[in-house]
Structure 1
Amino acid sequence: MGILIRQPGGQWREPATQGYDSEAALQRILHDHPSLVPGVPADAVACSEFQSGAGRADIVVVDASGKLTLVECKLAANPQVRREVIGQVLDYASRMWRMEIGEFEQRWRQANGGSSPFEALGDADGTTKAAVAENLKAGRFNLVLAVDGLNDDVKRIVEFLNAVTLPETGVMVAEFTHALEAGVEILIPIAYGAELVEAKSAAPHGRIRMCTEEEYLASCEEFDSASADQVAGLIAAAKQAGFQIEGGRAQPRH
Protein backbone atom coordinates (compact mmCIF):
# COMPACT_ATOMS: atom_id res chain seq x y z
CA MET A 1 0.00 0.00 0.00
CA GLY A 2 1.45 3.38 -1.01
CA ILE A 3 1.48 6.44 1.27
CA LEU A 4 1.30 10.04 0.12
CA ILE A 5 1.59 13.12 2.32
CA ARG A 6 1.52 16.87 1.79
CA GLN A 7 1.99 20.06 3.76
CA PRO A 8 -0.77 22.71 3.64
CA GLY A 9 -0.70 24.25 0.18
CA GLY A 10 1.92 21.81 -1.04
CA GLN A 11 1.98 18.86 -3.43
CA TRP A 12 1.31 15.24 -2.61
CA ARG A 13 4.54 13.26 -2.26
CA GLU A 14 5.91 10.10 -0.70
CA PRO A 15 7.26 10.25 2.88
CA ALA A 16 11.00 10.65 3.33
CA THR A 17 11.37 7.06 4.61
CA GLN A 18 9.20 4.00 4.09
CA GLY A 19 9.53 0.43 5.34
CA TYR A 20 11.43 -1.09 8.26
CA ASP A 21 15.11 -1.37 9.05
CA SER A 22 14.61 -5.04 9.90
CA GLU A 23 11.99 -7.63 10.80
CA ALA A 24 12.96 -7.04 14.43
CA ALA A 25 11.63 -3.47 14.14
CA LEU A 26 8.18 -4.74 13.13
CA GLN A 27 8.37 -7.37 15.85
CA ARG A 28 9.07 -4.71 18.52
CA ILE A 29 6.06 -2.64 17.44
CA LEU A 30 3.67 -5.60 17.65
CA HIS A 31 5.15 -6.78 20.96
CA ASP A 32 4.58 -3.36 22.48
CA HIS A 33 1.14 -2.94 20.88
CA PRO A 34 -0.34 -6.45 20.44
CA SER A 35 -3.86 -5.09 19.86
CA LEU A 36 -2.65 -4.04 16.37
CA VAL A 37 -2.75 -7.75 15.50
CA PRO A 38 -6.10 -8.86 13.99
CA GLY A 39 -8.44 -10.38 16.54
CA VAL A 40 -6.38 -9.33 19.57
CA PRO A 41 -8.19 -7.17 22.17
CA ALA A 42 -6.71 -4.24 24.08
CA ASP A 43 -6.22 -6.28 27.28
CA ALA A 44 -3.74 -8.72 25.71
CA VAL A 45 -0.11 -9.26 26.68
CA ALA A 46 2.68 -10.38 24.36
CA CYS A 47 5.93 -12.31 24.57
CA SER A 48 8.77 -12.15 22.02
CA GLU A 49 11.05 -15.02 21.01
CA PHE A 50 8.95 -17.71 22.70
CA GLN A 51 10.77 -21.05 22.47
CA SER A 52 8.23 -23.36 20.87
CA GLY A 53 10.53 -26.38 20.63
CA ALA A 54 10.83 -25.97 16.85
CA GLY A 55 12.39 -22.53 17.08
CA ARG A 56 11.59 -19.16 18.57
CA ALA A 57 8.15 -17.83 17.65
CA ASP A 58 8.41 -14.09 17.00
CA ILE A 59 5.42 -13.18 19.17
CA VAL A 60 2.94 -15.13 21.27
CA VAL A 61 -0.10 -13.23 22.54
CA VAL A 62 -2.50 -14.14 25.36
CA ASP A 63 -5.63 -12.18 26.25
CA ALA A 64 -7.84 -12.30 29.33
CA SER A 65 -10.17 -14.87 27.75
CA GLY A 66 -7.22 -17.25 27.29
CA LYS A 67 -7.11 -16.94 23.50
CA LEU A 68 -3.69 -17.64 21.98
CA THR A 69 -2.30 -15.85 18.92
CA LEU A 70 1.00 -16.72 17.24
CA VAL A 71 2.59 -14.01 15.09
CA GLU A 72 5.47 -14.41 12.67
CA CYS A 73 6.99 -11.26 11.14
CA LYS A 74 8.39 -11.30 7.62
CA LEU A 75 9.33 -8.44 5.30
CA ALA A 76 8.62 -8.59 1.57
CA ALA A 77 12.37 -8.66 0.87
CA ASN A 78 12.60 -11.99 2.70
CA PRO A 79 11.99 -14.84 0.20
CA GLN A 80 10.38 -16.88 3.00
CA VAL A 81 7.38 -14.54 2.99
CA ARG A 82 5.81 -16.46 0.10
CA ARG A 83 5.62 -20.05 1.31
CA GLU A 84 8.13 -21.20 3.91
CA VAL A 85 6.83 -18.92 6.66
CA ILE A 86 3.42 -20.60 6.59
CA GLY A 87 5.06 -23.94 7.36
CA GLN A 88 7.17 -22.23 10.00
CA VAL A 89 4.25 -20.82 11.97
CA LEU A 90 2.34 -24.11 11.63
CA ASP A 91 5.39 -25.92 13.01
CA TYR A 92 5.48 -23.59 16.01
CA ALA A 93 1.78 -24.17 16.64
CA SER A 94 2.18 -27.95 16.38
CA ARG A 95 4.94 -27.88 19.00
CA MET A 96 2.78 -25.83 21.36
CA TRP A 97 -0.19 -28.16 20.82
CA ARG A 98 -0.67 -30.22 24.02
CA MET A 99 2.05 -28.28 25.84
CA GLU A 100 1.46 -28.44 29.58
CA ILE A 101 0.42 -25.13 31.09
CA GLY A 102 3.32 -25.17 33.54
CA GLU A 103 5.81 -25.57 30.69
CA PHE A 104 4.09 -22.82 28.70
CA GLU A 105 4.32 -20.40 31.62
CA GLN A 106 7.95 -21.33 32.27
CA ARG A 107 8.93 -20.71 28.63
CA TRP A 108 7.05 -17.41 28.67
CA ARG A 109 8.96 -16.34 31.79
CA GLN A 110 12.28 -17.34 30.21
CA ALA A 111 11.57 -15.22 27.14
CA ASN A 112 9.90 -12.31 28.91
CA GLY A 113 12.25 -11.37 31.70
CA GLY A 114 10.70 -13.64 34.31
CA SER A 115 7.17 -12.21 34.20
CA SER A 116 4.11 -14.42 33.86
CA PRO A 117 1.26 -13.62 31.43
CA PHE A 118 -1.27 -14.54 34.09
CA GLU A 119 0.20 -12.10 36.59
CA ALA A 120 0.20 -9.37 33.94
CA LEU A 121 -3.45 -10.10 33.15
CA GLY A 122 -4.46 -10.05 36.83
CA ASP A 123 -5.64 -13.65 36.71
CA ALA A 124 -6.23 -14.01 40.45
CA ASP A 125 -8.78 -16.81 40.18
CA GLY A 126 -6.93 -18.79 37.52
CA THR A 127 -9.71 -18.50 34.93
CA THR A 128 -7.40 -17.28 32.17
CA LYS A 129 -4.78 -19.90 32.99
CA ALA A 130 -7.36 -22.68 32.79
CA ALA A 131 -8.60 -21.36 29.44
CA VAL A 132 -5.04 -21.22 28.05
CA ALA A 133 -4.45 -24.80 29.23
CA GLU A 134 -7.58 -25.93 27.40
CA ASN A 135 -6.62 -24.06 24.22
CA LEU A 136 -3.14 -25.60 24.25
CA LYS A 137 -4.66 -29.04 24.68
CA ALA A 138 -7.11 -28.49 21.80
CA GLY A 139 -4.60 -26.77 19.51
CA ARG A 140 -6.85 -23.72 19.42
CA PHE A 141 -4.73 -20.89 17.98
CA ASN A 142 -4.97 -17.91 15.69
CA LEU A 143 -1.94 -17.80 13.39
CA VAL A 144 -0.96 -14.41 11.98
CA LEU A 145 1.68 -13.57 9.41
CA ALA A 146 2.72 -9.92 9.86
CA VAL A 147 4.24 -8.42 6.71
CA ASP A 148 5.05 -5.05 5.19
CA GLY A 149 3.43 -5.95 1.87
CA LEU A 150 0.72 -8.45 0.92
CA ASN A 151 1.12 -10.75 -2.08
CA ASP A 152 -1.29 -13.03 -3.91
CA ASP A 153 0.57 -16.22 -2.98
CA VAL A 154 0.13 -15.64 0.74
CA LYS A 155 -3.52 -14.60 0.28
CA ARG A 156 -4.25 -17.82 -1.58
CA ILE A 157 -2.57 -19.95 1.10
CA VAL A 158 -4.53 -18.16 3.84
CA GLU A 159 -7.81 -18.82 2.00
CA PHE A 160 -6.94 -22.49 1.51
CA LEU A 161 -5.89 -23.12 5.12
CA ASN A 162 -9.04 -21.51 6.49
CA ALA A 163 -11.12 -23.65 4.12
CA VAL A 164 -9.57 -26.98 5.12
CA THR A 165 -8.74 -26.54 8.83
CA LEU A 166 -11.04 -26.90 11.81
CA PRO A 167 -12.76 -23.84 13.34
CA GLU A 168 -10.27 -23.96 16.22
CA THR A 169 -7.45 -22.78 13.94
CA GLY A 170 -7.61 -19.40 12.23
CA VAL A 171 -5.00 -18.16 9.75
CA MET A 172 -4.60 -14.49 8.87
CA VAL A 173 -2.08 -12.15 7.28
CA ALA A 174 -1.71 -8.52 8.32
CA GLU A 175 0.08 -5.83 6.35
CA PHE A 176 1.71 -3.08 8.41
CA THR A 177 2.77 -0.26 6.11
CA HIS A 178 5.29 1.97 7.85
CA ALA A 179 6.64 5.42 7.00
CA LEU A 180 8.63 8.19 8.69
CA GLU A 181 8.41 11.90 7.92
CA ALA A 182 9.94 14.75 9.93
CA GLY A 183 10.15 12.64 13.06
CA VAL A 184 6.53 11.43 12.79
CA GLU A 185 5.96 7.69 12.29
CA ILE A 186 2.98 6.46 10.29
CA LEU A 187 1.67 2.91 10.65
CA ILE A 188 -1.26 1.61 8.57
CA PRO A 189 -2.50 -1.92 9.43
CA ILE A 190 -4.61 -3.90 6.97
CA ALA A 191 -5.84 -7.42 7.84
CA TYR A 192 -6.61 -10.16 5.34
CA GLY A 193 -8.36 -13.37 6.35
CA ALA A 194 -9.98 -12.07 9.54
CA GLU A 195 -13.44 -12.30 7.97
CA LEU A 196 -12.69 -15.88 6.88
CA VAL A 197 -11.70 -16.83 10.43
CA GLU A 198 -14.84 -15.21 11.88
CA ALA A 199 -17.09 -16.94 9.35
CA LYS A 200 -15.47 -20.31 9.99
CA SER A 201 -15.78 -19.91 13.74
CA ALA A 202 -19.44 -18.88 13.48
CA ALA A 203 -20.43 -21.66 11.06
CA PRO A 204 -22.52 -24.47 12.58
CA HIS A 205 -20.27 -27.42 13.25
CA GLY A 206 -21.82 -28.92 16.35
CA ARG A 207 -23.16 -31.90 14.41
CA ILE A 208 -19.63 -33.08 13.69
CA ARG A 209 -17.95 -34.88 16.54
CA MET A 210 -14.91 -37.09 17.08
CA CYS A 211 -15.61 -40.81 16.87
CA THR A 212 -13.68 -43.23 19.05
CA GLU A 213 -11.50 -46.05 17.77
CA GLU A 214 -14.13 -48.57 18.89
CA GLU A 215 -16.90 -46.72 17.06
CA TYR A 216 -14.81 -46.55 13.91
CA LEU A 217 -14.03 -50.27 13.96
CA ALA A 218 -17.70 -51.06 14.58
CA SER A 219 -18.62 -48.88 11.62
CA CYS A 220 -16.08 -50.71 9.43
CA GLU A 221 -17.58 -54.04 10.50
CA GLU A 222 -21.07 -52.81 9.63
CA PHE A 223 -20.33 -51.29 6.23
CA ASP A 224 -17.39 -53.41 4.99
CA SER A 225 -16.90 -56.45 7.17
CA ALA A 226 -14.41 -57.96 4.72
CA SER A 227 -11.98 -55.11 5.37
CA ALA A 228 -12.63 -54.67 9.10
CA ASP A 229 -9.87 -57.06 10.19
CA GLN A 230 -7.36 -55.33 7.90
CA VAL A 231 -8.28 -51.92 9.35
CA ALA A 232 -7.92 -53.26 12.91
CA GLY A 233 -4.51 -54.70 12.00
CA LEU A 234 -3.40 -51.39 10.53
CA ILE A 235 -4.40 -49.53 13.69
CA ALA A 236 -2.60 -52.08 15.87
CA ALA A 237 0.55 -51.78 13.77
CA ALA A 238 0.41 -47.98 13.97
CA LYS A 239 0.14 -48.14 17.76
CA GLN A 240 3.05 -50.56 17.96
CA ALA A 241 5.13 -48.17 15.84
CA GLY A 242 4.48 -45.39 18.36
CA PHE A 243 1.65 -43.50 16.67
CA GLN A 244 -1.16 -42.12 18.81
CA ILE A 245 -4.64 -42.85 17.51
CA GLU A 246 -6.90 -39.81 17.87
CA GLY A 247 -10.06 -40.87 16.08
CA GLY A 248 -11.76 -38.84 13.40
CA ARG A 249 -14.69 -36.62 12.67
CA ALA A 250 -17.94 -38.56 12.66
CA GLN A 251 -20.56 -37.55 10.12
CA PRO A 252 -24.22 -37.99 11.07
CA ARG A 253 -26.06 -40.84 9.41
CA HIS A 254 -29.08 -40.09 7.23
Structure 2
Amino acid sequence: MKQKQYETEDIFQKLIERYPNILAGEQINPNDPRQWIFISREIGIPSETSGGNQWFLDHLFIDQDAIPTFVEVKRSTDTRVRREVVAQMLDYAANATSYWEIDTLRECYETQLEQEKTVSLESLGISVAKKELFWQNVATNLKVGKIRLMFVADEIPMSLQRIIEFLNEQMTETEVLGLEIKQYVSSDGMKTLVPKIIGRTSTAVQVRRHEKGTWDEQSFFNDVLNISGEQAVNVCQGLLRGFEALGCRIWWGKGRTHGSFIPVYDGRLANHQLCSIYQTDKTTLVELQFQHFKEPFNQIDAKQKLK
Protein backbone atom coordinates (compact mmCIF):
# COMPACT_ATOMS: atom_id res chain seq x y z
CA MET A 1 0.00 0.00 0.00
CA LYS A 2 1.25 3.47 -0.85
CA GLN A 3 0.65 6.71 0.98
CA LYS A 4 -1.73 8.99 -0.89
CA GLN A 5 -3.02 12.48 -0.16
CA TYR A 6 -6.72 13.06 0.37
CA GLU A 7 -8.36 14.28 -2.82
CA THR A 8 -10.35 17.01 -1.07
CA GLU A 9 -10.73 18.35 2.46
CA ASP A 10 -14.43 17.44 2.32
CA ILE A 11 -13.57 13.75 1.84
CA PHE A 12 -11.17 13.98 4.77
CA GLN A 13 -13.86 15.52 6.98
CA LYS A 14 -16.49 12.95 5.99
CA LEU A 15 -14.15 10.13 7.02
CA ILE A 16 -13.82 11.62 10.50
CA GLU A 17 -17.59 12.06 10.75
CA ARG A 18 -18.29 8.46 9.69
CA TYR A 19 -15.44 6.85 11.64
CA PRO A 20 -14.84 8.89 14.82
CA ASN A 21 -12.65 6.15 16.31
CA ILE A 22 -9.98 7.39 13.91
CA LEU A 23 -9.46 10.21 16.44
CA ALA A 24 -7.23 7.79 18.35
CA GLY A 25 -8.85 7.88 21.77
CA GLU A 26 -6.58 5.06 22.95
CA GLN A 27 -3.49 7.16 22.18
CA ILE A 28 -4.87 10.22 23.98
CA ASN A 29 -5.42 8.25 27.20
CA PRO A 30 -4.06 4.68 27.11
CA ASN A 31 -5.42 3.91 30.59
CA ASP A 32 -8.91 5.19 29.81
CA PRO A 33 -9.37 5.42 26.01
CA ARG A 34 -11.53 8.29 24.86
CA GLN A 35 -14.89 7.42 23.33
CA TRP A 36 -16.54 9.91 21.03
CA ILE A 37 -20.05 11.34 20.83
CA PHE A 38 -20.42 13.16 17.51
CA ILE A 39 -22.30 16.44 18.02
CA SER A 40 -22.07 18.34 14.75
CA ARG A 41 -20.10 19.18 11.66
CA GLU A 42 -19.63 22.85 10.74
CA ILE A 43 -21.16 23.99 14.02
CA GLY A 44 -21.58 27.74 14.34
CA ILE A 45 -19.83 29.87 16.96
CA PRO A 46 -21.12 33.37 17.84
CA SER A 47 -18.96 36.26 19.00
CA GLU A 48 -21.52 37.69 21.42
CA THR A 49 -24.47 36.62 23.52
CA SER A 50 -27.49 35.75 21.33
CA GLY A 51 -25.48 36.90 18.31
CA GLY A 52 -25.21 35.33 14.89
CA ASN A 53 -22.52 32.79 14.07
CA GLN A 54 -19.18 34.32 13.10
CA TRP A 55 -17.13 31.12 12.76
CA PHE A 56 -17.79 27.46 11.97
CA LEU A 57 -15.85 24.65 13.61
CA ASP A 58 -15.22 21.61 11.40
CA HIS A 59 -16.34 19.03 14.00
CA LEU A 60 -17.46 18.97 17.61
CA PHE A 61 -17.22 15.77 19.64
CA ILE A 62 -17.76 15.15 23.35
CA ASP A 63 -16.04 12.30 25.17
CA GLN A 64 -17.48 10.05 27.87
CA ASP A 65 -16.26 12.43 30.60
CA ALA A 66 -18.27 15.34 29.13
CA ILE A 67 -15.17 17.07 27.73
CA PRO A 68 -15.95 18.99 24.50
CA THR A 69 -13.42 18.25 21.77
CA PHE A 70 -12.89 20.80 19.00
CA VAL A 71 -11.62 19.26 15.74
CA GLU A 72 -10.24 21.41 12.93
CA VAL A 73 -9.18 19.63 9.73
CA LYS A 74 -6.65 20.80 7.16
CA ARG A 75 -4.79 18.98 4.40
CA SER A 76 -1.02 19.37 4.39
CA THR A 77 -1.26 21.07 1.01
CA ASP A 78 -3.23 23.89 2.65
CA THR A 79 -0.75 26.56 3.74
CA ARG A 80 -3.14 27.47 6.59
CA VAL A 81 -2.17 24.20 8.31
CA ARG A 82 0.62 26.18 9.91
CA ARG A 83 0.30 29.14 12.27
CA GLU A 84 -2.94 30.58 10.95
CA VAL A 85 -4.95 27.53 12.03
CA VAL A 86 -3.73 27.99 15.63
CA ALA A 87 -5.12 31.52 15.85
CA GLN A 88 -8.32 30.28 14.24
CA MET A 89 -8.75 27.49 16.79
CA LEU A 90 -8.08 29.82 19.73
CA ASP A 91 -10.79 32.15 18.39
CA TYR A 92 -13.18 29.20 18.32
CA ALA A 93 -12.32 28.11 21.85
CA ALA A 94 -12.47 31.59 23.41
CA ASN A 95 -15.90 32.37 21.97
CA ALA A 96 -17.51 28.93 22.16
CA THR A 97 -16.73 28.62 25.86
CA SER A 98 -18.37 32.01 26.42
CA TYR A 99 -21.37 31.97 24.11
CA TRP A 100 -22.44 28.40 23.30
CA GLU A 101 -25.79 27.45 24.81
CA ILE A 102 -25.87 23.91 26.16
CA ASP A 103 -29.41 23.43 24.84
CA THR A 104 -28.11 24.06 21.32
CA LEU A 105 -25.49 21.34 21.72
CA ARG A 106 -28.11 18.94 23.05
CA GLU A 107 -30.34 19.62 20.07
CA CYS A 108 -27.44 18.92 17.72
CA TYR A 109 -26.79 15.64 19.51
CA GLU A 110 -30.45 14.60 19.34
CA THR A 111 -30.51 15.35 15.60
CA GLN A 112 -27.42 13.22 14.99
CA LEU A 113 -28.89 10.43 17.12
CA GLU A 114 -32.15 10.43 15.15
CA GLN A 115 -30.16 10.20 11.92
CA GLU A 116 -28.02 7.41 13.41
CA LYS A 117 -24.85 9.45 12.92
CA THR A 118 -23.70 9.22 16.54
CA VAL A 119 -23.73 6.81 19.45
CA SER A 120 -26.17 7.06 22.33
CA LEU A 121 -25.11 8.15 25.80
CA GLU A 122 -26.39 4.82 27.10
CA SER A 123 -23.94 2.93 24.89
CA LEU A 124 -21.12 4.72 26.71
CA GLY A 125 -22.44 3.71 30.12
CA ILE A 126 -24.32 6.96 30.85
CA SER A 127 -27.68 5.92 32.25
CA VAL A 128 -30.94 7.76 31.65
CA ALA A 129 -30.86 8.99 35.25
CA LYS A 130 -27.43 10.56 34.67
CA LYS A 131 -28.15 12.22 31.32
CA GLU A 132 -29.03 15.59 32.82
CA LEU A 133 -25.91 15.58 34.96
CA PHE A 134 -23.81 14.66 31.92
CA TRP A 135 -25.01 17.72 29.99
CA GLN A 136 -24.61 19.91 33.05
CA ASN A 137 -21.01 18.72 33.27
CA VAL A 138 -20.55 19.63 29.59
CA ALA A 139 -21.77 23.14 30.38
CA THR A 140 -19.46 23.43 33.40
CA ASN A 141 -16.45 22.15 31.43
CA LEU A 142 -17.09 24.77 28.76
CA LYS A 143 -17.30 27.54 31.35
CA VAL A 144 -14.02 26.61 33.03
CA GLY A 145 -12.22 25.88 29.75
CA LYS A 146 -11.87 22.15 30.34
CA ILE A 147 -11.88 21.30 26.65
CA ARG A 148 -9.71 19.57 24.06
CA LEU A 149 -8.40 21.26 20.91
CA MET A 150 -7.37 18.89 18.13
CA PHE A 151 -5.59 19.90 14.92
CA VAL A 152 -6.04 17.18 12.31
CA ALA A 153 -4.08 16.85 9.07
CA ASP A 154 -2.59 14.15 6.87
CA GLU A 155 0.77 15.55 7.88
CA ILE A 156 1.54 17.98 10.74
CA PRO A 157 4.47 20.27 9.85
CA MET A 158 7.21 20.69 12.44
CA SER A 159 6.35 24.38 12.89
CA LEU A 160 2.81 23.47 13.96
CA GLN A 161 4.01 20.54 16.07
CA ARG A 162 6.22 22.83 18.15
CA ILE A 163 3.29 25.19 18.79
CA ILE A 164 1.00 22.30 19.78
CA GLU A 165 3.57 20.85 22.18
CA PHE A 166 4.25 24.24 23.76
CA LEU A 167 0.55 24.99 24.32
CA ASN A 168 -0.16 21.52 25.67
CA GLU A 169 2.68 21.76 28.18
CA GLN A 170 1.60 25.21 29.39
CA MET A 171 -2.19 24.86 29.60
CA THR A 172 -3.60 22.94 32.55
CA GLU A 173 -7.34 22.78 31.82
CA THR A 174 -7.30 22.82 28.01
CA GLU A 175 -5.63 19.93 26.21
CA VAL A 176 -4.04 20.75 22.84
CA LEU A 177 -3.19 17.93 20.44
CA GLY A 178 -2.27 17.32 16.85
CA LEU A 179 -3.43 14.27 14.93
CA GLU A 180 -1.87 12.98 11.75
CA ILE A 181 -4.15 10.66 9.79
CA LYS A 182 -2.22 9.24 6.87
CA GLN A 183 -4.03 7.47 4.06
CA TYR A 184 -2.62 4.38 2.37
CA VAL A 185 -4.14 2.92 -0.80
CA SER A 186 -3.53 -0.45 -2.46
CA SER A 187 -3.46 -1.10 -6.19
CA ASP A 188 -7.00 -2.52 -6.05
CA GLY A 189 -8.37 0.57 -4.25
CA MET A 190 -8.40 -0.68 -0.66
CA LYS A 191 -7.72 2.12 1.82
CA THR A 192 -6.45 2.20 5.37
CA LEU A 193 -6.12 5.20 7.68
CA VAL A 194 -3.31 5.38 10.24
CA PRO A 195 -3.68 7.93 13.08
CA LYS A 196 -0.84 9.28 15.19
CA ILE A 197 -1.29 11.68 18.13
CA ILE A 198 1.17 14.59 18.38
CA GLY A 199 1.71 16.82 21.41
CA ARG A 200 1.37 14.24 24.18
CA THR A 201 4.90 14.87 25.45
CA SER A 202 6.17 13.59 28.77
CA THR A 203 5.90 17.11 30.17
CA ALA A 204 2.28 17.44 29.03
CA VAL A 205 1.44 14.04 30.54
CA GLN A 206 3.01 15.14 33.82
CA VAL A 207 0.93 18.34 33.81
CA ARG A 208 -2.20 16.18 33.50
CA ARG A 209 -1.21 13.38 35.84
CA HIS A 210 -4.24 14.36 37.97
CA GLU A 211 -6.55 14.42 34.96
CA LYS A 212 -9.40 13.11 37.07
CA GLY A 213 -8.99 14.93 40.35
CA THR A 214 -10.79 13.77 43.47
CA TRP A 215 -12.30 16.67 45.38
CA ASP A 216 -14.33 16.60 48.55
CA GLU A 217 -15.52 19.16 51.09
CA GLN A 218 -12.21 19.44 52.92
CA SER A 219 -9.95 19.69 49.85
CA PHE A 220 -12.29 22.15 48.13
CA PHE A 221 -12.46 24.53 51.09
CA ASN A 222 -8.68 24.32 51.56
CA ASP A 223 -8.34 25.40 47.92
CA VAL A 224 -10.79 28.28 48.43
CA LEU A 225 -9.00 29.39 51.61
CA ASN A 226 -5.58 29.42 49.92
CA ILE A 227 -6.75 31.54 46.99
CA SER A 228 -9.81 33.53 48.06
CA GLY A 229 -9.57 33.72 51.84
CA GLU A 230 -11.71 32.97 54.87
CA GLN A 231 -14.70 35.13 53.86
CA ALA A 232 -15.11 33.15 50.63
CA VAL A 233 -14.93 29.91 52.61
CA ASN A 234 -17.77 31.11 54.86
CA VAL A 235 -19.93 32.03 51.87
CA CYS A 236 -19.33 28.68 50.15
CA GLN A 237 -20.01 26.76 53.36
CA GLY A 238 -23.27 28.64 53.77
CA LEU A 239 -24.30 27.69 50.23
CA LEU A 240 -23.32 24.07 50.75
CA ARG A 241 -25.22 23.69 54.02
CA GLY A 242 -28.22 25.55 52.66
CA PHE A 243 -28.56 23.31 49.62
CA GLU A 244 -28.05 20.20 51.74
CA ALA A 245 -30.85 21.39 54.04
CA LEU A 246 -33.12 21.62 50.99
CA GLY A 247 -32.48 17.95 50.26
CA CYS A 248 -29.98 18.42 47.43
CA ARG A 249 -27.13 16.04 46.83
CA ILE A 250 -23.70 17.53 46.17
CA TRP A 251 -21.65 16.58 43.12
CA TRP A 252 -17.94 17.25 43.64
CA GLY A 253 -15.95 18.23 40.55
CA LYS A 254 -13.01 16.39 39.06
CA GLY A 255 -10.86 19.33 37.92
CA ARG A 256 -7.13 18.77 37.67
CA THR A 257 -6.06 22.00 39.39
CA HIS A 258 -9.09 23.41 41.23
CA GLY A 259 -12.23 22.09 42.86
CA SER A 260 -15.92 22.74 42.37
CA PHE A 261 -19.28 21.53 43.60
CA ILE A 262 -22.76 21.47 42.11
CA PRO A 263 -25.97 21.14 44.15
CA VAL A 264 -28.30 18.74 42.32
CA TYR A 265 -31.98 18.33 43.03
CA ASP A 266 -33.20 14.87 42.03
CA GLY A 267 -36.71 15.49 40.79
CA ARG A 268 -39.38 12.97 39.96
CA LEU A 269 -38.79 13.25 36.21
CA ALA A 270 -35.30 14.72 35.95
CA ASN A 271 -32.25 15.87 37.86
CA HIS A 272 -31.73 19.63 38.13
CA GLN A 273 -28.42 21.47 38.46
CA LEU A 274 -29.19 24.60 40.48
CA CYS A 275 -25.86 26.42 40.26
CA SER A 276 -22.10 25.87 40.10
CA ILE A 277 -19.56 26.95 42.71
CA TYR A 278 -15.99 26.65 41.48
CA GLN A 279 -12.48 27.87 42.16
CA THR A 280 -10.14 29.46 39.60
CA ASP A 281 -6.52 30.58 39.85
CA LYS A 282 -7.65 34.00 41.14
CA THR A 283 -11.10 33.81 42.71
CA THR A 284 -14.16 31.77 43.64
CA LEU A 285 -17.21 31.97 41.39
CA VAL A 286 -20.88 31.20 41.89
CA GLU A 287 -22.72 30.72 38.61
CA LEU A 288 -26.48 30.65 38.22
CA GLN A 289 -27.08 28.67 35.04
CA PHE A 290 -30.26 30.31 33.81
CA GLN A 291 -30.05 28.50 30.47
CA HIS A 292 -31.39 25.38 32.22
CA PHE A 293 -34.38 27.13 33.80
CA LYS A 294 -37.93 26.47 32.59
CA GLU A 295 -41.20 28.41 32.81
CA PRO A 296 -41.93 30.49 34.81
CA PHE A 297 -38.40 30.76 36.24
CA ASN A 298 -36.81 31.72 32.93
CA GLN A 299 -38.55 35.12 32.99
CA ILE A 300 -36.35 38.12 33.72
CA ASP A 301 -38.19 39.10 36.93
CA ALA A 302 -37.75 35.61 38.36
CA LYS A 303 -34.07 35.59 37.40
CA GLN A 304 -33.46 38.93 39.09
CA LYS A 305 -35.23 37.81 42.23
CA LEU A 306 -33.19 34.61 42.43
CA LYS A 307 -29.95 36.47 41.77
The alignment's TM-score, normalised by the length of structure 1, stands at 0.68
Alignment partner of 1:136: what SS? helix
Distance 1:148 1:211 in 2: 44
> What do the CA deviations read for 1:106-154 (whole angstroms, capped 9, x no partner)?
45567x4876999821351223212211111111111110011121101
| 1:149 correspondence with 2:141 | no
For 2:190, which of 178, 184, 204 is the aligned residue? 184
> What do the CA deviations read for 1:49-77 (whole angstroms, capped 9, x no partner)?
11122411111111232121111000111
Q: Which one-letter code corresponds to 2:151 in the other structure?
A: L
Distance 1:208 1:161 in 2: 25
| 1:66 correspondence with 2:66 | yes
Q: Confirm or deny: 8 A CA contact 1:73 1:146 kept in the other structure.
A: yes
What is aligned with 1:24?
10
Q: How many residues of Structure 1 are paired with residues of Structure 2 in the alignment?
A: 205
Distance 2:179 2:41 in 1: 18
Q: Confirm or deny: 8 A CA contact 1:23 1:75 kept in the other structure.
A: yes
Distance 2:156 2:69 in 1: 20
1:79–1:208 distance in 2 versus 1, CA, 3 Å: farther
1:119–1:76 distance in 2 versus 1, CA, 3 Å: closer
Aligned-residue Cα RMSD (Å) equals 3.5
Distance 2:146 2:208 in 1: 11
What is aligned with 1:164?
170
Q: Which structure has the larger Rg over C-alpha atoms?
A: 1
For 2:179, which of 154, 174, 182 is the aligned residue? 174
Distance 1:81 1:135 in 2: 27
Distance 1:60 1:190 in 2: 19
Q: Confirm or deny: 8 A CA contact 1:143 1:170 kept in the other structure.
A: yes
What is aligned with 1:249?
281
For 2:207, which of 196, 200, 212 is the aligned residue? 200
What is aligned with 1:128?
134
- Percent of aligned positions with the same letter in both sequences? 24
Q: Confirm or deny: 8 A CA contact 2:185 2:191 kept in the other structure.
A: yes
Q: Confirm or deny: 8 A CA contact 2:113 2:120 kept in the other structure.
A: no
What is aligned with 2:143?
137
Alignment partner of 1:135: what SS? helix
Q: Give the drift of 1:78.
A: 0.6
What is aligned with 1:238?
none
Q: Confirm or deny: 8 A CA contact 1:141 1:169 kept in the other structure.
A: yes
Q: Structure 2: which 5+ residue stretches go unaligned?
A: 47-53, 214-218, 232-278, 283-307
Distance 1:161 1:197 in 2: 9
> What do the CA deviations read for 1:174-224 (whole angstroms, capped 9, x no partner)?
111112221210211111112454332116999987945999xxxxxxxxx
1:63–1:80 distance in 2 versus 1, CA, 3 Å: same
1:197–1:115 distance in 2 versus 1, CA, 3 Å: farther
Q: Confirm or deny: 8 A CA contact 1:19 1:178 kept in the other structure.
A: yes
Q: Which one-letter code corresponds to 2:20 in the other structure?
A: P
Q: Structure 1: which 5+ residue stretches go unaligned?
A: 6-14, 216-246
1:183–1:160 distance in 2 versus 1, CA, 3 Å: same
| 1:49 correspondence with 2:42 | yes
Higher relative contact order by CA 8 Å / sep ≥ 6: 1 or 2?
Answer: 1
Q: Confirm or deny: 8 A CA contact 2:97 2:145 kept in the other structure.
A: yes
The alignment's TM-score, normalised by the length of structure 2, stands at 0.57
Distance 1:91 1:116 in 2: 31
1:109–1:31 distance in 2 versus 1, CA, 3 Å: same
Distance 1:32 1:183 in 2: 19
Alignment partner of 1:75: what SS? coil
